[in-house]
């Protein structure tokens, strides 16, 4: 087990004419604490698989260093890094039984027979595969196959980290929860560092202690699920996480007032001189739907559509040219002349999509 440090790592794929392409992964510094459960979250093509492959050694980054426990292993091939990887599609050795599949990494490392059998039995038990031990791995269903690929990583005692590359893609939705729970359990029992790549926020938020959100080769935010939800560092994080995502509305800001389409919103902080083309972000959970004039800071809107999603409703309201999503409880009466009220404590402001941290002091100091 090891902590993993990425020191100004960046990567560019070389194309045919050996010409450098755009960064697939822009320069970044990251530290993965030993024993942590991480998720790498982002849309397809954001560079998360590249990042994962740099850790596993399948890709050698064009810039920067990768350190395992302080040791520079940037140039080492995968087999010498003692990592385990579970791929998008189950990789199993067709002709072998389940037990033989689990034994394969140990046999390649010439581990003595007795120890091998013992380890395989432990892992079979951990992953609840004991009853299939002597079946051909090929004949199992996809989730058991994924467990075998995971098991091949866990069976070794020297594993530094277990990497998952969208491992639930081919799993039946009904079994996803179950398998994810087993992954969690394995993590708790074995205590390896685990890094989980996904584009599914639910998977990321339920699996990981810390989530790394990526976009276009860049890390936008690293934080606990709660942090990502409460204070998105980037409008993309706000939109990407949550269902529906954060409302992002273009605005201009002067002192403690923001102006959206000519309507004013009161802020908790004073931002001083006028700023134009900022954005205001507020989660649908933090917006209330009220009667107009019931509160002087409520903004009049019209209701465009209502989606009923069981215990809650998502109300699509039109504020000028912008759509504001509001989440209301089932059974709430909708106001006849609706207006939206933003919870000032949860309003975030963004300049060029990046979160503006509020000035330290409140009140007017100039």
Partner 1 sequence: MRANPTSKGIRASNVPWRYIVPALYILFLMVPLYWLLNMSFKTNQEILSTFSLWPQQFTLENYLLILSDPSWYNGYINSTIYVVLNTVISLAVALPAAYAFSRYRFLGDKHLFFWLLTNRMAPPAVFVLPFFQLYSAFGLIDTHIAVALAHCLFNVPLAVWILEGSMSGIPREIDETAYIDGYSFPQFFFKLFAPLIGSGIGIAAFFCFMFSWVELLIARTLTVTEAKPIAAVMTRTVSASGVDWGVLTAAGALTIIPGAVVIYFVRNHIAKGFALGRV
Partner 2 sequence: MKPLNNRAWFLVTPVLLLVAFSAVIPLMTVVNYSVQDSFGNNEFFWVGTEWFEEVLRSERFHKALMRNLTFSAIVLAIEIPLGIAIALCMPTRGPWVSVCLVLMAMPLLIPWNVVGTIWQIFGRVDIGLLGHTLAEFGIDYNYSQNVVDAWITVVMMDVWHWTSLVVLLCYSGLVAIPEMYYQAARIDGASRWAIFRAIQLPRMKRVLLIAVLLRFMDSFMIYTEPFVLTGGGPGNATTFLSIDLVQMAVGQFDIGPAAAMSLIYFLIILALSWVFYSVMTRDDDQGN
Q: Pick from partner 2, partner 1, none: which does 96 bind, CB < 5 to 8 A by kind?
A: partner 2
Closer residue to partner 1 (CB): 87 or 323: 87
Q: Please, what is the minimum distance in Å from the beta carbon of residue 69 to partner 1?
A: 24
Closer residue to partner 2 (CB): 109 or 337: 109
Pairing of strands 287-291, 257-260: unpaired
Q: Please, what is the minimum distance in Å from the beta carbon of residue 152 to partner 2?
A: 6
Closer residue to partner 2 (CB): 87 or 285: 87
- How far out from the chain centre does Cα 109 lie? 34
Q: Please, what is the minimum distance in Å from the beta carbon of residue 3 to partner 2?
A: 20
Binding to partner 1, residues 4-23 (CB under 8 A): 13-15
Closer residue to partner 2 (CB): 183 or 237: 183
**Measured between alpha carbons, how far is 335 from 174 in angstroms, rounded to an integer?**
39
Largest pairwise CA distance in the chain: 79
Closer residue to partner 1 (CB): 213 or 340: 213
DSSP secondary structure code for residue 18 in this structure: S
Q: How many CA atoms lie within 13 A of 316 on its CB side?
A: 10
Q: Please, what is the minimum distance in Å from the beta carbon of residue 324 to partner 1?
A: 34
Residues in binding contact with partner 1, number by CB under 8 A: 11
**Measured between alpha carbons, how far is 304 from 324 in angstroms, rounded to an integer?**
10
Q: Is 175 helix (H, G, I), strand (E, B) or coil?
A: helix
DSSP line for 22-53: EEEEEEEEEEE-TT-EEEEE--TTSSHHHHHH
Alpha helices in 43-161 (DSSP H): 48-56, 98-108, 113-126, 142-154
Binding region for partner 2 (CB under 8 A): 56, 58, 77-79, 83-85, 87-89, 91, 93-96, 104-105, 108-109, 136, 138-139, 149, 152-153
Nearest 10 degrees: Cα torsion 42, 43, 47, 48:
40
| 58 forms part of the interface with partner 1 (CB under 8 A) | yes
Number of helices (H) and strands (E) in the chain: give both, helices first: 8, 22
Among 60, 266, 306, 309, binds partner 1 (CB under 8 A): 60
Q: Pick from partner 1, partner 2, none: which does 158 bind, CB < 5 to 8 A by kind?
A: none
Q: Please, what is the minimum distance in Å from the beta carbon of residue 49 to partner 1?
A: 6
| 321 forms part of the interface with partner 1 (CB under 8 A) | no
Closer residue to partner 2 (CB): 25 or 299: 25
């Amino acid at each position: 087990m090891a902590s993993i440090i990425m020191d100004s790592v960046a990567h560019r794929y070389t194309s045919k004419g050996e010409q450098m392409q755009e960064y697939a992964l822009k320069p970044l510094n990251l530290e993965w604490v030993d024993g942590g459960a991480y998720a790498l979250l982002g849309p397809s093509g954001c560079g998360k698989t590249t990042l994962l492959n740099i850790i596993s050694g399948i890709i050698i980054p064009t810039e920067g260093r990768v350190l395992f426990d302080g040791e520079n292993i940037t140039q080492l091939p995968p087999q010498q890094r003692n990592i385990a990887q579970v791929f998008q599609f189950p990789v199993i050795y067709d002709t072998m039984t389940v037990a033989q599949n689990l034994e394969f990494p140990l046999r390649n490392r010439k581990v003595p027979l007795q120890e091998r059998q013992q380890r395989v039995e432990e892992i079979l038990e951990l992953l609840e595969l004991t009853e299939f031990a002597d079946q051909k791995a090929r004949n199992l269903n996809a989730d058991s196959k994924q467990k075998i690929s995971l098991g091949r990583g866990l069976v070794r005692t020297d594993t530094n980290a277990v990497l998952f590359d969208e491992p639930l893609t081919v799993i039946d939705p009904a079994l996803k929860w179950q398998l994810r729970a087993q992954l969690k359990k394995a993590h708790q029992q074995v205590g390896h560092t685990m890094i989980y790549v996904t584009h599914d926020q639910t998977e990321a938020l339920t699996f990981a202690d810390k989530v790394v959100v990526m976009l276009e080769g860049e890390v936008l935010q690293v934080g606990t699920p709660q942090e990502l939800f409460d204070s998105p560092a980037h409008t993309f994080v706000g939109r990407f996480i949550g269902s529906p995502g954060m409302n992002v509305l273009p605005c201009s800001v002067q002192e403690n007032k923001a102006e959206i389409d000519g309507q004013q919103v009161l802020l908790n902080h004073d931002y001083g001189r006028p700023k134009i083309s900022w954005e205001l972000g507020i989660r649908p959970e933090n917006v209330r739907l009220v009667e107009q004039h019931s509160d002087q800071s409520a903004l009049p809107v019209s209701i465009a559509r209502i989606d009923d999603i069981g215990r809650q409703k998502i109300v699509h309201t039109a504020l000028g040219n912008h759509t504001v999503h509001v989440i209301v409880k089932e059974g709430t009466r909708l106001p006849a002349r609706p207006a939206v009220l933003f919870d000032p404590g949860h309003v975030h402001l963004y300049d060029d999509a990046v979160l503006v941290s509020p000035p330290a002091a409140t009140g007017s100091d100039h």
